Structure 1
Amino acid sequence: MDETHDDVLALFDGLRVADVRDGMDWVGLPHRGSVTREITPVAPGMRLCGRAFTVRTRPSDKVVPHGISPEEYTAWAHEYWYGEVNTSKAWRDGLRPGDVVVIEGADLGVGEVGSNNSLGWHVLGAVGVVTSGGVRDVDEVTAQGVPVFARYRSQSMTQGRIEFAEAGQPVALGDVVVRPGDVVVADGDGVIVVPVERAEEVARYGRQELENDKAIRRGYYQSLGWALDETVR
């Protein structure tokens, strides 16, 4: 995306999902953007904000070899499956700082996101991952701290189950369409997607409501004699 979009993204700094939801309501989009509540953070406290980098997976029709040794299976999985079939090599070099990897999963109970690939995408600039599919390696994902939001936990790897389909096209998170470049915000309240062409005004009114909320709660803090924290300053 262009530099202007980077500037618009900055308008969302510090906004909660609740504030963005309010901003969407304020600009006449009350039924847009809120992603299914089934997609949740892997760990409490995870939050992200960035532009959507979209990826779709599909069920695989590739044949898994039978009757081979574990060593042969290792070679097949590492060299063929993860080297050619289900690899992010085809699209990961397109990642830039500020991107959120948004995956429309094939819904086969597979952990298409894990501690390895989520961290690798983070190295390339991704601020986190949102998938309508599954996540595995949950303990390591939690320890690494790269935000991952997923619909379910899984134990399964992808070989013989799903494969990469395409990147850079509109995808679906439940009934919400996500286009490349749309703004994605996620925290403990879930995930919301803002159409990029409405992002600036959504951020403006989301900020208005955040500051209003802070002012009211700040008064309550003071009445209770509580020290002010970052949520009300």
Structure 2
Amino acid sequence: MTPHDLHPMPEQCDPTLVAALSQVDTSTLGHWRLWGLCDPALRPLAPGIKACGTIVTLALPGPDGALLHEVLSQVRAGDVLVIDRLGDTRHSAVGGVVAAAAALRGLAAIVVDGPVADLAEILAAGLPVWARGTSQHTTRRLGLGGRVNAPVSVGGVVARPGDLALCDGDGVVFLSPAEAARDIELAQYAATREAFIREGLAKGIALNDLLSPPALAGSR
């Protein structure tokens, strides 16, 4: 029996929340977040790209890409498709045709925990993709199964359907809508503080004089 574990598409996140989070840099979140930050080996295929949207998850086994083709008929504009390759680092599940189909569906991005193929075609499709590199070994339509819209592990982080993915040149972060709302406020404070520091530097003030003193070990 083919092992499929299929779940409904998650509700999309509030567009206002997505728009606000898209203004935040992943490295800004890295100043305080201890989880949700993916392995930095997951890199954008092109410089200067950024994406943010509702997570749709897929767990895809080894050399099989059949379930990915089914999922592409379900994804919606603004979704970020997050693909767990279940440890496979050899076979590319995302290539030129998949990228073209995803772009036509309005997908915000694909994050795949493995390699891609047809790099030039993916770039030409204009679809933002984060991956672990490229491979000439491609998946096939084998029907081995997989999971759709269940929690997956990508870049060492749990991605849950219906949560948010923020992706930019520094990497990928997964976070819940509640975490996003809180972190947007923290990022706004951080931006104000950074502007203050840059203004001080422009006036010739030493960086150390603009920063708060470090906390002492054992202090209360």
**Category of TM-score, reference length = shorter chain:** 0.7 to 0.9
The structure 2 residue matched to 1:194, chosen from 170, 175, 197, is 175
- In structure 2, give the amino acid aligned to 1:150: A
Match of residue 231 from structure 1 = none
The structure 2 residue matched to 1:48, chosen from 48, 51, 68, is 51
Quote how far apart the aligned CAs of 1:99 are. 0.7
SS in 1 for 2:60: strand
SS in 1 for 2:49: coil
- In structure 1, give the amino acid aligned to 2:163: D
Residues 220-231 of structure 1: pairs in structure 2 closer than 5 A: none
Indicate if the aligned counterparts of 2:165 and 2:175 stay in contact, CA closer than 8 A: yes
The structure 2 residue matched to 1:116, chosen from 61, 81, 97, is 97
Sequence identity percentage: 26
- In structure 1, give the amino acid aligned to 2:51: L
Match of residue 10 from structure 1 = 19
Residues 40-189 of structure 1: pairs in structure 2 closer than 5 A: 40-59=43-62, 86-106=66-86, 107-159=88-140, 164-189=145-170
Uncovered stretches (5+) of structure 2, i.e. residues with no partner:
1-9, 205-220
Match of residue 3 from structure 2 = none
Question: What per-residue deviation string (whole Å, max 9, x for no partner) do you get for residues 139-187 of structure 1?
Answer: 2222333111001211122127895512111110132000001111111
Question: May I ask how many residue pairs the two structures share in their alignment?
Answer: 194
- Output the CA distance in 2 between the equivalents of 1:185 and 1:105: 20
- Output the CA distance in 1 between the equivalents of 2:82 and 2:27: 20
Quote how far apart the aligned CAs of 1:207 are. 2.4
SS in 1 for 2:21: coil
Question: What per-residue deviation string (whole Å, max 9, x for no partner) do you get for residues 109-139 of structure 1?
Answer: 1111122212211221211110101111112
When residues 160 and 51 of structure 1 are mapped into structure 2, their CA distance, relative to the original with a 3 A threshold, is closer
- In structure 1, give the amino acid aligned to 2:78: G
Indicate if the aligned counterparts of 1:100 and 1:128 stay in contact, CA closer than 8 A: yes
SS in 2 for 1:193: strand
Indicate if the aligned counterparts of 2:12 and 2:54 stay in contact, CA closer than 8 A: no
- Output the CA distance in 2 between the equivalents of 1:52 and 1:184: 6
- In structure 1, give the amino acid aligned to 2:14: H
SS in 2 for 1:192: strand
When residues 187 and 6 of structure 1 are mapped into structure 2, their CA distance, relative to the original with a 3 A threshold, is same
What is the TM-score when the length of structure 1 is the normalising length? 0.73
The RMSD of aligned alpha carbons is: 2.6
Moved over 3 A (4+): 1-4, 160-164, 214-223
Question: What per-residue deviation string (whole Å, max 9, x for no partner) do you get for residues 47-84 of structure 1?
Answer: 21111111110135xxxxxxxxxxxxxxxxxxxx8xxx
When residues 13 and 174 of structure 1 are mapped into structure 2, their CA distance, relative to the original with a 3 A threshold, is closer
- In structure 2, give the amino acid aligned to 1:34: L
Quote how far apart the aligned CAs of 1:38 are. 1.2
- In structure 2, give the amino acid aligned to 1:191: V
- In structure 2, give the amino acid aligned to 1:146: L
- In structure 2, give the amino acid aligned to 1:131: V
- Output the CA distance in 2 between the equivalents of 1:126 and 1:222: 45
